[in-house]
Homo-oligomer: A and B are copies of this chain.
Amino acid sequence: MTSPLQRFHPFIPAGGVGSRLWPLSRADAPKFLLDLTGSGSSLLRATYDRLEGLSAGPLMVVTGRSHAGAVQEQLPELSATDLVLEPSPKDSAAAIGLACTLIERRDPTAIIGSFAADHVVEPAQAFQDVVREAIQAADTGRIVTIGITPSSPATGFGYIKAGRSLGLEQAPHALTVEQFVEKPDEETARQYVASGRYTWNAGMFVAPVGLMLDYLRRSEPELAKGLDRIADAWETTERDAVVDEVWPTLTKTAIDYAVAEPAAAAGDVAMVPGDFTWEDVGDFAAINRLNKVDPQTDSQVSILGSNKRVLADESSGIVVSDTARLIALIGVDDIVVVDTPDALLVTTAEHAQRVKNAVDSLKRNGDTDVL
C-alpha cells in the first residue's frame, strides 16, 4: 500500500451565507466568496491554495447550485466532476457524505479531509504540517480532528477535550478525544482554557473514507443509500436527473451527530493539536482583528474593500466599502461601517454578534432584496 500522504483526498464544503457579516455577505455573495483579509483572494480560493499541495488528486468542492458560476470563477481549474452542486441545503452529513461516497469510488483506500471554505488559517506551512500528522494518525484507523490551541476563552466555538497520547510514531502529537463539548458560557470557557486540555473544534476532519462511511451507513442508512445512488450516476449523463430525484429525499443532519459523536463514543476519534492562527471570521469584530491598522499611519481605522475614500477624524474601527462614495467618520470609536450599493450597516465591534438579529428582522419584514 502507498503512503497515506499519497492517498489523501481533501475536499471543501462551501456553504453558509455568514449572516453576521451582512450586508457584506449576501445569499448570492456568501462569506466564502469574499476577500475578508485584504489579500486579494476569496476565503474559498485561499482554502483551495492551502490544500492543493497536500492533495493526491484534484480537490473537490461541495457547494450550492446557485454558487456554481461564482465558484468556477474563483477556481477555474476545478473540473465539473469535482464541483459537487447541492440543489438545496441539506446540512453537513449530506454534503460531506456525498464527497466521501464519490471519493470512495475513486480510491477505497483514500484518506479524506474535510475543511470549511470560509476560515482564515495562517501560516499555511504550519497548517500543512499538522494536516500531514493528522493523515498519518487517520491511517491507523481513526477519525482525526484538528484541535486549535485557544488564544482566548471564546464562547462562539465548541471545544474538544483531549485525553492521553496515542504514542504514534508518525503522529507524535496525536491524542485521544475524551469528549466534544458544545459552545460554553464564558466562565466555563475560561476553565477550559486554563486547564490546557481543551482545544477549539474547527470542524476539520481527516479520516479513512471507509471509516467515515461505515459510521454514516450505520447511523443514517437511508441517507447513505441515497448518496450511493447519486454516486452510481455521477459519471453518467443521468447525474443531474438522479440528483434532482434523490436530493430532496435526503435526511438533513449534521456530520457531528451522524459520524463524529458516535465515533468518539466508540473511541475511534483522535485529535492533533494545531498551533497556527485560525479564525472563522464569524463577525465584524473578527474582521477587525484580522485587518489590524497599519502602524505606520496615524489612522485607527482599517479600510477593507476597493474604496479608499475614507476621512477619519478622531475615530477608530473598520470601514468596508466597494462603493465610490466618500465616507467621513468623526468622533466615533470601535465603529463598524459596511457600505454597499443597496445597504448600509453602522454598528460597533462590541455589537458585531447582533448583526444576525438584524438580518432575521429584515427577513421577517420582507426586506429580502437586500439579503
State how many residues of chain A have any CB contact under 8 Å with chain B.
36
**A219 proximal to B (CB < 8 A):** no
Given contacts A357-B313, A367-B309, whether A328 and B345 have CB atoms under 8 Å apart is yes
Interface residues of A in 260-311 (CB under 8 A from B): 309, 311
Chain B residues whose C-beta falls within 8 Å of the C-beta of A313 in the assembled complex? 354, 357-358, 361
| Contact between chains at A351 and B330 (CB < 8 Å) | yes
Chain B residues whose C-beta falls within 8 Å of the C-beta of A346 in the assembled complex? 327-330, 332, 335, 337, 346
CB-contact partner of A326 in B314, B344, B347, B350, under 8 A: B344
In the bound complex, CA of A347 to CA of B314 (Å): 10
Question: What is the minimal beta-carbon distance from A298 to any residue of chain B, in angstroms?
Answer: 13
**A30 proximal to B (CB < 8 A):** no
User: What does the 1/0 interface line of A319-339 toward B look like (CB < 8 Å)?
Assistant: 000001111111110010101
Copy total for this chain: 2
Give chain A's interface residues, CB within 8 Å of chain B.
Answer: 23, 309, 311, 313-314, 324-332, 335, 337, 339, 341-348, 350-351, 354-355, 357-358, 361-362, 365, 367, 370
The contact sample of 28 A-B pairs, CB cut-off 8 A, is A309-B367, A311-B358, A311-B361, A311-B365, A311-B367, A313-B358, A313-B361, A325-B341, A325-B344, A326-B343, A328-B343, A328-B344, A328-B345, A328-B346, A328-B347, A328-B362, A329-B347, A330-B351, A330-B355, A330-B357, A330-B358, A331-B347, A331-B348, A331-B354, A332-B335, A332-B347, A332-B351, A346-B346
